[in-house]
Amino acid sequence: MASLVAYDDSDSEAETEAAGSVNATSQMTDTRDVVKPRGQDFAPGGLDVTEAGALATKPGSCEDPAGHRLPLARLWRSDPGSCPSRRLQWPRTEPEVTFPTNEPPRPSLWASHTPAGHVPLAAAHVKQVKPSWGTAGSPELSFCAQTKCDTSGTNGSSLQRRRREDCVIPYTPKRLRQLQAVGAETGKSNEAEARGPCARRAPAPLCVASRVSEFIQPYLDSPYKETKIPRSVLFHLRGHRGPVNGVQWCPVPSQSHMLLSASMDKTFRVWNAVDSGGCLQTYCPHSEAVRAARWSPCGQRILSGGFDFALHLTDLETGTQLFSGQSDFRITTLKFHPKDHSLFVCGGFSSEIKAWDIRTGKVVRSYKAAIQQTLDILFLQEGSEFLSSTDASSRDSADRTIIAWDFRSSAKISNQIFHERYTCPSLTLHPREPVFLAQTNGNYLALFSAVWPYRMSRRRRYEGHKVEGYSVGCECSPDGDLLVTGSADGRALLYSFRTASRARILPGHAQACVGTTFHPVLPSVLATCSWEGDVKIWH
């Protein structure tokens, strides 16, 4: 028989913990509340512990409604009148917090000062309260209710008594229960983090051929006129658990509401960054960080490469890999050929750049140089030439920092393009003039001619931002009038292309802003991403 001596760490009379409640470790801490009859369960309709306890026993009775005699150790708790020294403590019910299901109408995208996907901070921290007694009893309780000896006589009663004594769950101190609860929660979070964000679900089909966004439709029938300087945040997209390496709008104008983001959390995501700011789908084909991801020109597939040496071409609608290749180096950059969309070029932690054919799944060309890493790739002259930015630099000059290649013959056209002792983490092409820009670790953007001999402009230089070793991207607006670049201090800076003066500074992120891109259709929409793992849409 259980002892009635009260310990220092035992539950007191005024303890608010409900009898029979289940703690975080999914173990029954007290089985003194209800004994289930054999072959029966609680009454239908989801009765709580209070109602079940009222139906189970009657005051002054030692039997349950089914006629079975209750264990002696439980009569003290189930009958308040039979044991006045310890009374039954019913659990306190707490009101359940609910939220209204009818959402208010979404405000206008361009007239509202508050993002449409904005959620108040107070509401985001409120969690729905659920009673801990909503589940049925533990396996030990069911076993105790069903282990009743059907034999009669002295031997049967002694066997029945022993079985009842074996069913009594030993007492666990309250301090130990709290430590077990904390340990169980920590173990579950670590296990979920080890499996990754996509371990529990497979990619669902994503309907790419959906209707055109109502905000993009008016701009499809007219040519792009003028880029307006963005001023405020439209959406703040959160969801990545690691730094976001880059963002890109869908190249198909009618589907340009979709935004692609590649992250170091081994995933890349597709967002509806114009209408709702929500994540449409998350893809996890890689086992390591996704360093580069690009839309296919058709807008229905995504080519990705990462630190797991793998290349994948993922179909958005089915989530399957239409092409998979294994490289011999970690991928840091890749680009589709501007004319032949079945070819792409990739580079990374290697002295080689390789061109792949998606149709055969094989390498068709290799470009070798005395370098250690390729930082970025840029196609010129409609795909007949391309540039590679590398980490090669010497003490007196930085030759081989930017190398021009002939795509078909794999021959070097020039490696004496940039002579200042800085590496260039990213390259971008002007949409209307035969020039390109290079982001340098000297905290400035350099302007070059896009035709041989690729001379650098000494008169025009875009300064004011910081690179500090990050792979900070840069891009020109669709009309070519504005130039945007990120910064290591979290800002995004816009420059006038003609005068090289700063047009605006956007204090966007808490950590380094590494990716910026203008919308190809909407004249005042800009997307930025940062090293802290978030994406912002500006308008």
Percent of the chain with pLDDT over 70: 60
Higher per-residue pLDDT: 64 or 44: 64
What is the side-by-side strand order in the sheet with 426-429? 426-429, 435-440, 444-449, 456-463
The residue-averaged pLDDT of 176-187 equals 64
- Judge whether residue 416 has pLDDT over 60: yes
Q: Do the beta carbons of residue 348 and residue 331 sit within 8 Å?
A: yes
Cβ within 8 Å of residue 345, ≥6 positions away:
334, 335, 337, 353, 354, 355, 356, 377, 386
- Delineate the domains of the chain, giving CATH numbers in brackets: 16-96+135-195 (no CATH), 217-538 (2.130.10.10)
pLDDT for the residue numbered 400: 79
Average pLDDT over residues 409-434: 93
What phi, psi does 195 have (nearest 5°)?
-75, -25
CA–CA dist 210, 257 (Å, integer): 11
Q: Is 4 helix (H, G, I), strand (E, B) or coil?
A: coil
Tell whether the model's pLDDT for residue 257 goes beyond 50: yes
Write out the two tokens for 295.
């839309």
| pLDDT above 70 (res 499) | yes
The DSSP symbol for 186 reads H
Which tens digit of pLDDT belongs to each residue from 196-231?
Answer: 556 545 566 676 666 799 999 999 988 898 999 999
The tokens 């840091």 sit on which residue?
Answer: 332
pLDDT of residue 88: 41
Indicate whether 195 pLDDT > 60: no
User: Which residue would you say has higher pLDDT here, 182 or 4?
Assistant: 182
Is pLDDT above 50 for 336?
Answer: yes
Supply the pLDDT for residue 225: 87
SS (H, E, C) 19-32: CCCECCCCCECCCC
Residue 287 tokens, joined? 């086992």
User: Does the N-terminal peptide bond of residue 453 adopt cis geometry, omega within 30 degrees of 0?
Assistant: yes
Q: How many CA atoms lie within 13 A of 523 on its CB side?
A: 12
pLDDT at residue 187 in the model: 56
Q: What is the predicted pLDDT for the residue at 144?
A: 39
Q: What is the 3-state secondary structure (H, E, C) of 222-275?
A: CCCCCCCCCCCEEEEECCCCCCEEEEEECCCHHHCCEEEEEECCCCEEEEECCC
Core vs surface per residue 446-455: b (16+ CB within 10 A) or e: bbbebeeebe
Tokens of 240: 């990545």
Per DSSP, the three-state class of 51 is helix
pLDDT digits (tens, 9 = 90+) for 448-492: 999 999 999 999 999 999 999 999 999 999 999 999 999 999 999
Average pLDDT taken over every residue of the chain: 75
Handedness of CA 165, 171, 172, 174 (dihedral sign): positive
Share of the chain above pLDDT 90, in %: 54
DSSP 382: G
Mean pLDDT for the stretch of residues 342-351: 96
pLDDT, position 211: 79
Q: What is the DSSP letter of 327?
A: -
Q: Which residues, at least 6 apart from 468, have a Cβ–Cβ distance to it below 8 Å?
A: 441, 443, 488, 512
- For residue range 51-94, list pLDDT tens digits in order: 334 334 444 444 444 444 444 334 334 444 444 444 444 444 44
3-state secondary structure of 295: strand
In this predicted structure, the answer to whether residue 535 has a pLDDT above a threshold of 80 is yes
pTM passes above 0.85? no
Check whether 526 has a pLDDT greater than 80.
yes
pLDDT digits (tens, 9 = 90+) for 98-153: 444 444 544 444 544 434 333 333 333 333 434 333 333 333 333 333 434 444 44
Q: Average pLDDT in the 290-308 region?
A: 96
For residues 125 and 283, which has the higher predicted lDDT (pLDDT)?
A: 283
DSSP 381: G
Q: CA–CA separation, 222 vs 521, rounded Å?
A: 10
Q: How confident is the model at residue 169 (pLDDT cuts 50, 70, 90)?
A: low
CA distance 239 to 282: 10
| Phi, psi of 230, rounded to the nearest 5 degrees | -70, 150
Nearest to 248 by CA among 72, 74, 480, 473: 473
Q: What is the mean pLDDT of residues 246-272?
A: 96
Residue 465's closest CA among 401, 509, 432?
509
Is residue 193's pLDDT more than 80? Answer: no
